[in-house]
Amino acid sequence: AQKVTQAQTEISVVEKEDVTLDCVYETRDTTYYLFWYKQPPSGELVFLIRRNSFDEQNEISGRYSWNFQKSTSSFNFTITASQVVDSAVYFCALLNQAGTALIFGKGTTLSVSS
Amino acid sequence: EAQVTQNPRYLITVTGKKLTVTCSQNMNHEYMSWYRQDPGLGLRQIYYSMNVEVTDKGDVPEGYKVSRKEKRNFPLILESPSPNQTSLYFCASSSTFPGQAIIANSPLHFGNGTRLTVT
């Protein structure tokens, strides 16, 4: 079975702190695809990143970085020097085996205070 | 502007009163899908459509219907809504079947959501 676990339900940090959001996935596929989406308080879903299983390079985009580790089945997301605008619910997701849907984790609510 | 448009954004209704949530995309996407989001459960797929007249069930299809008579529209129909269908609903589209979309470098585009309350 395929599954995505985001064990952290809520995280609170103060502005400028670094924060890591954990994502652990389960799949028997050798080729698979992982995603992160952001849901700000306004409610829309914003695509952040897609990573395939055969590309283990870590990704950095400004203050955002992603650490993909196949050995531990994790795809963690780090925000460096967090800002209030980073406050949102963050979802990690796995493309299902049939390629027809994303399997989402339950999400992590990040609150950044000033 | 490329977008997925859902209407309405907010809807309050009563048990048993049929309703339709519309979804339209202007990107000529083949693939469209509906998800519902519930606290503590994340997002779960209700139905998806690979192309016109081709639809299939997702993980939680009970109580819902969809149709895909034209490429741009994918309405979600609740024939007899119940309180357990109170949720935040998202429509999504992609230029191709998601598995292929990955290869084609096309992520899922989500609409802004419809918050439905059934009393």
Tokens representing B79? 């024939």
Determine the distance in angstroms separating the CA of A98 from the nearest CA of chain B, rounded to an integer. Answer: 7
Give the pLDDT confidence score for residue A5 in this predicted structure.
97
Q: Do A91 and B42 touch (CB under 8 A)?
A: yes
B41-76 burial: b if 16+ Cβ within 10 Å, else e: ebbbbbbbbbeeeebeebebbeebebebeebbbbbb
Q: Beta partners for B117?
A: B12
**pLDDT at position B107, please?**
79
Question: Do residue A100 and residue B100 have CB atoms under 8 angstroms apart?
Answer: no
How many whole angstroms separate alpha carbon B51 and alpha carbon B113?
22
| CA gap B83, A7 in Å, rounded | 28
3-state secondary structure (DSSP) of residue B96: coil
CB contact under 8 A, A50 and B90: no
Residue B103: the pLDDT is 55
Smallest CA–CA separation between B117 and chain A, in Å? 16
Contact (CB<8Å) B97/A52:
no
Per-residue pLDDT, A98:
85
pLDDT in tens, chain B (119 residues): 779 999 999 999 999 999 999 999 999 998 999 999 999 899 999 999 988 989 999 999 999 999 999 999 999 999 999 999 999 999 999 887 666 666 556 678 899 999 999 99
- Of B100, B99, B96, the C-alpha closest to B71 is B96
Q: A47, B108: Cβ pair inside 8 Å?
A: yes
**Nearest-by-CA chain A residue for B10:** A43
Rounded to the nearest angstrom, the minimum Cα separation between B41 and chain A is 5
The series of mean pLDDT values per 10 residues for chain A, 114 residues long, is 95 97 95 93 92 85 94 96 97 91 95 97
Give the whole-angstrom CA distance, residue A40 versus residue B78.
Answer: 27
Q: Where are the beta strands (DSSP E) in chain B?
A: 4-7, 10-13, 19-25, 31-38, 42-51, 54-57, 65-66, 76-78, 87-94, 109-110, 114-118
Q: Do A101 and B99 touch (CB under 8 A)?
A: no
User: Which of the residues B30, B108, B112, B115 would you substitute to probe the A interface, choosing the one with the greatest number of A C-beta atoms within 10 Å?
Assistant: B108
CA separation for the pair A111, A83 (Å, rounded): 9
pLDDT in tens, A70-92: 999 999 999 999 999 999 999 99
Neighbours of A56 (CB within 10 A): 12
* pLDDT value for A93: 95
